[in-house]
């Protein structure tokens, strides 16, 4: 186990030394990240009765919440995400299946802690960028209610109180944080793509994963990471509206560039998600 993480300090990019080079993210089936309906995901996540407590998870483990309003660039972002599915996972899917339709998961406390720590680094980085706002449009996304950094801090403190050592951030989280820093300065359209995918995916399939993993290894404890203050649907709709407002000032070329970044966001997020199995 890596050395204990000082929980009094957040893993923001201002305090964590990140590598100078960003490793290429591990290629994963794009369907690993998104599914069409939360209800279908729930039926895909089933528990095994084996003594090893294996949780069987469909390859589509997170999804974008369905739009609440008509029109706008957010609809285009969601459409691109759905096309990265296979046809058996989403009606709009266009990808060929890569590997078996399901992956057997054997979550562990150590792996889950690695996932939470790396997730915290990514959210710390996103939220610090939004606060600093190197591009003025980022300021629109301050205090949306979707922020996850403080919730993750509380969860890691809880794990420490239970006697677990908190690992340092690992390569997947560090690489993604570095990449987000670079995008934020020079490529706002690509950065907004990652912002959208990271926060929206977590509110849907990400919650389902958290629930099932908690049933297997945490005696069903619900972590703060999976809780939001207020009405989550309204919080999401407010952010959709802001995204549409920001994108309304982009050229068609800039919008297309944002959409092209979607698959890369899947790959980085997938690398972090797989830490649960490490």
Check residues 276 and 52 and name the one with the higher pLDDT: 276
DSSP-derived letter for residue 278 is: -
Give buried/exposed letters for 188-219 (b at 16+ CB in 10 A, else e). Answer: bbbbbbbbbbbbbbbbbbbbbbbebbbbbbbe
- Residue 144 pLDDT grade (very low, low, confident, very high; cuts 50, 70, 90): very high
pLDDT tens figures, 261-277: 999 998 999 899 999 98
Residues with Cβ within 8 Å of residue 110, at least 6 apart in sequence: 1, 167, 278
- Residue 82 pLDDT grade (very low, low, confident, very high; cuts 50, 70, 90): confident
- Which range (26-30, 112-116, 125-129, 193-197) has the least confidence? 26-30
Could you give phi then psi for residue 58, rounded to 5 degrees? -65, 155
Q: Per-residue pLDDT for 40 more than 70? A: no
Roughly what angle, to the nearest 10 degrees, separates helices 109-132 and 262-273?
140
Return d(Cα 229, Cα 146) in angstroms, integer: 9
Residue 240 in tokens:
């959709």
pLDDT tens figures, 89-138: 456 656 665 433 334 678 999 999 999 999 999 999 999 999 999 999 99
- Residue 221 pLDDT grade (very low, low, confident, very high; cuts 50, 70, 90): very high
Check residues 178 and 86 and name the one with the higher pLDDT: 178
Residues with Cβ within 8 Å of residue 184, at least 6 apart in sequence: 129, 134, 135, 138, 191
Could you give phi then psi for residue 87, rounded to 5 degrees? -65, -30
């Amino acid at each position: 186990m890596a050395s204990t993480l000082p929980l009094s300090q957040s893993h923001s990019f201002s305090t964590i030394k990140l590598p100078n080079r960003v490793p290429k993210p591990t290629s994963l089936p794009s369907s690993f990240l998104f599914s069409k309906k939360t209800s279908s995901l729930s039926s895909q996540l089933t528990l095994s009765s084996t003594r090893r407590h294996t949780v069987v998870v469909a390859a589509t483990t997170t999804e974008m919440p369905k739009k609440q309003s008509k029109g706008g660039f957010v609809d285009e972002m969601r459409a691109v995400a759905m096309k990265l599915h296979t046809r058996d996972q989403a009606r709009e899917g266009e990808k060929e299946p890569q590997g078996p339709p399901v992956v057997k998961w054997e979550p562990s406390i150590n792996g889950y802690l690695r996932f939470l720590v790396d997730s915290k680094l990514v959210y710390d980085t996103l939220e610090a960028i939004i606060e600093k706002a190197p591009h003025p449009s980022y300021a629109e996304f301050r205090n949306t209610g979707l922020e996850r950094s403080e919730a993750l801090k509380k969860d890691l403190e809880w794990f420490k109180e239970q006697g677990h050592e908190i690992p340092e951030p690992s390569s997947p989280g560090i690489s993604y944080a570095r990449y987000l820093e670079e995008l934020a300065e020079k490529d706002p359209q690509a950065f907004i793509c990652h912002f959208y995918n990271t926060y929206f995916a977590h509110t849907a399939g990400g919650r389902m994963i958290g629930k099932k993993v908690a049933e297997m290894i945490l005696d069903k404890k619900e972590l703060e990471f999976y809780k939001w203050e207020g009405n989550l649907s309204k919080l999401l709709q407010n952010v959709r509206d802001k995204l549409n407002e920001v994108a309304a000032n982009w050229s068609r070329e800039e919008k297309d560039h944002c959409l092209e970044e979607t698959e890369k966001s899947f790959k980085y997020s997938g690398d972090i998600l797989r830490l649960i199995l490490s």
